[in-house]
Amino acid sequence: MVSSSSPKISRDVLMQGVVEGITRFESEFPLEDFRKGDYKQHPVITLLTCSDSRMPVNVFGSIFNRIFSVENIGNQFRSSEGSVLYGLLHLHTPLMIVAGHTDCGAIKAAESNFVSEPMGIRNELSIVKDSLDAARRLYNVSNDESDLKYTLLSEVNVDMQVNYLLANPEVSELVKNKELLIVGVMVDLHDHYGEGYGRTYTINVNGERDTGKLQNDKELGLLAERAKRLSRQR
């Protein structure tokens, strides 16, 4: 499996960072809401994203009581179906975001021979591989060997997760009734889209992959301006 080692850091420095994070959270905690007895969660976004440390949830704004976050290897719906559906069907978030990123290590690993990995990792990578195989059949994905290969596959992987969501009758009904918007995005960590590092692009909305149509969708607001993809749109 494609991996990289973490930088060496002393335990004292590591724990100091943890404590600083806890202290900051405590100082920013919305005490007034809780003093009023409002202990429930009220997220407006269900986020399915890759469990990559370069993909922090706050890419999509403030987190606390706003984003119901689900993270796994390769941002797979079927790896965390129950968690995602809880956000949509029980918490009733009006926005579902599926977030992939450039040159995804999970995509690389799923394209390799991962039989020597522990069973838990093999199980999740098998789900990623199934998504990629389905994407190749559905979208006629070429066996691109350029530097963009894994970014192109990451795009169609996001497309497949949107498809899996729409295949759920209850989710599909929410979309049909305009109670839910499903947005697939790519976060560019490598400047593969040519507009700078760290930018986010809209590549799929409710199954629509044509960026020309997305750019003209007034309901998307500023997300329409970010419609761009590298892989084939049909």
Which is more confident, 6 or 11? 11
Out of 50-59, 61-70, 202-211, give the one with best mean pLDDT.
202-211
The structural domains of the chain, with segments of one domain joined by +, span 40-225
* Cβ atoms of 32 and 38 closer than 8 Å: no
Q: Per the structure block, which two tokens stand in for 204? A: 């799929």
Query: Can you tell me the mean pLDDT for 32-47?
Result: 86
The whole-number pLDDT of residue 219 equals: 85
Q: Which fold, 40-225?
A: Beta-carbonic Anhydrase; Chain A (3.40.1050)
* Cβ atoms of 224 and 215 closer than 8 Å: yes
Least confident of 2-6, 140-144, 157-161: 2-6
* % pLDDT > 70, the chain: 94
- Strands in 67-72's sheet, in edge-to-edge order, are 67-72, 45-50, 95-101, 181-188, 199-205
Q: Per the structure block, which two tokens stand in for 10? A: 């002393």
Tell me the pTM.
0.89
pLDDT at 144 over 70: no
* % pLDDT > 90, the chain: 66
CA 227 to chain centre: 16
Assign 64 a pLDDT band (cuts: 50, 70, 90).
confident
Assign 4 a pLDDT band (cuts: 50, 70, 90).
low
The whole-number pLDDT of residue 61 equals: 82
CA proximity to 201, closest of 215, 180, 218: 215
Query: Can you tell me the mean pLDDT for 126-152?
Result: 86
pLDDT at 145 over 80: no
* Cβ atoms of 184 and 159 closer than 8 Å: yes
pLDDT at 21 over 90: no
* Cβ atoms of 191 and 166 closer than 8 Å: no
Query: Can you tell me the mean pLDDT for 206-224?
Result: 92
Q: Per the structure block, which two tokens stand in for 212? A: 């020309």
Measured torsion, CA atoms of residues 75, 102, 167, 217, in degrees rounded to the nearest 10: 130
Query: Can you tell me the mean pLDDT for 66-79?
Result: 96
pLDDT at 234 over 80: no
The whole-number pLDDT of residue 55 equals: 87
pLDDT digits (tens, 9 = 90+) for 108-121: 999 999 999 999 99
Query: Can you tell me the mean pLDDT for 94-118?
Result: 94
